[in-house]
Structure 1
Amino acid sequence: MAQSAAPEPPSDPLLRVADMPDAERAALREMFQGSPLNAMLALEIVELGPAHALVSMPVAADALNHAGTLHGGAIATLIDQTCGTIAARAGGLDYTTHTLVTADLHVRYLARTRGAAVHARAEVVRAGRQLIIVDCAVTDDTGTLVATADFSSMIVPKRAR
């Protein structure tokens, strides 16, 4: 008796932001870079799928620490923004009634950066109705694994101001 093949897992189609229609790309970049912190660090969405996001950040002088290496806080911000972006997408966040808050972020710093930029790739582990779990890896231009992280966020109702 022949064994049936296991079903293929759902694919996470690659959606390069550069390949999006102009209006959609502009709206996504405006929303993402509308944050002063994202703009200061020059974070840029490169890819977006149903279960992954890739965001790049230049290694700029303003983001270096006293030792001349990329500051851990800048790396943590890159991770938080990348993971939050895909968590909102995977969780079906309705921005009119709810918001997404980081519940937990654990970063493991593994190496110093080499090259002109770092790249965070975040992948959804599980997206529940309220809690979304994401794993993230940060590499530099040379392919060196700079940091890994696990992230969880919660979808919560917006507060009245």
Structure 2
Amino acid sequence: MMDTVNQMYIEQLNEDEKNIIEQVLKGFESKRQGTSTSYVSAMYAMEHEFDGETLSITMPVTPIVYNSLGMMHGGITATAIDTAMGMLANKIAPSNKAAVTSQLNLHYTAPIYGGIVRAYAKIIHHGSKSMVIEGWIETDAGKRAAHATGSFYLIDKKQ
């Protein structure tokens, strides 16, 4: 019975909805395989690069991240920037510590419609108990769409 209901539901989906479900399922598989460190980065198909100074995350802007106006939701923009900054903080944190966001200050400067976005993160201050990191997000056309600063507190890793 449940398989019949699922099949009927899937047949009623439009192309955007099918693509969203496919992206989420691929994300689950990416997390399961260990190629993504979190379900958030997996679900939004985030990929990162680190050049030793700046960490960047690329992410497709697909309907799964749209708000009701058909542009990238501000909370998802914040998530992309916070993810880049948090990944950088954890890359440079001592091996027995983890960095967690303690404050995020974000300024939106342009809407994001489709394409690929890249979130960047760069260290401003690295102390023994906290870090301050600068982050920003750019559209695939190179337009800066948001700018942030974040504070990260170093905590003991769970054993």
Give the TM-score band, short-chain normalised: 0.7 to 0.9
| CA distance 1:51–1:74, shift in 2 (3 Å) | same
CA RMSD, Structure 1 to Structure 2 (Å): 2.0
Aligned residue type for 1:155: L
1:43 aligns with 2:46: yes
Looking at structure 2, the residues matched to 155 and 113 of structure 1 have their Cα atoms a distance apart, in angstroms, of 32
User: Deviation per CA, 1:72-115, whole angstroms, max 9, x where unpaired?
Assistant: 111111111100111112233x2xx4322101111101101144
Tell me the TM-score normalized by structure 1: 0.73
User: Deviation per CA, 1:3-34, whole angstroms, max 9, x where unpaired?
Assistant: xxxxxxxxxxxxxxxxxxxxxxxxxx936x13
1:69 aligns with one of 44, 68, 71: 71
Deviation at 1:66, TM superposition (A): 0.7
What does residue 87 of structure 2 align with?
85
| CA distance 1:91–1:158, shift in 2 (3 Å) | closer
Deviation >2 Å, runs of 4+: none
Q: Is the CA contact (8 Å cut-off) linking 2:71 and 2:114 kept in structure 1?
A: no
Structure 1 stretches lacking a partner, 5+ long: 1-28
What does residue 58 of structure 1 align with?
60
Deviation at 1:35, TM superposition (A): 0.8
Tell me the TM-score normalized by structure 2: 0.74
Looking at structure 2, the residues matched to 140 and 115 of structure 1 have their Cα atoms a distance apart, in angstroms, of 9
Structure 2 stretches lacking a partner, 5+ long: 1-32
Question: How many residues align structurally?
Answer: 128
User: Deviation per CA, 1:123-151, whole angstroms, max 9, x where unpaired?
Assistant: 10111111111101110011111000001
Instruction: Map 1:1-161; keep pairs closer than 5 Å.
Output: 30=34, 33-45=36-48, 47-92=49-94, 94=95, 97-158=96-157
Determine which structure has the larger helix proportion and give its number: 2
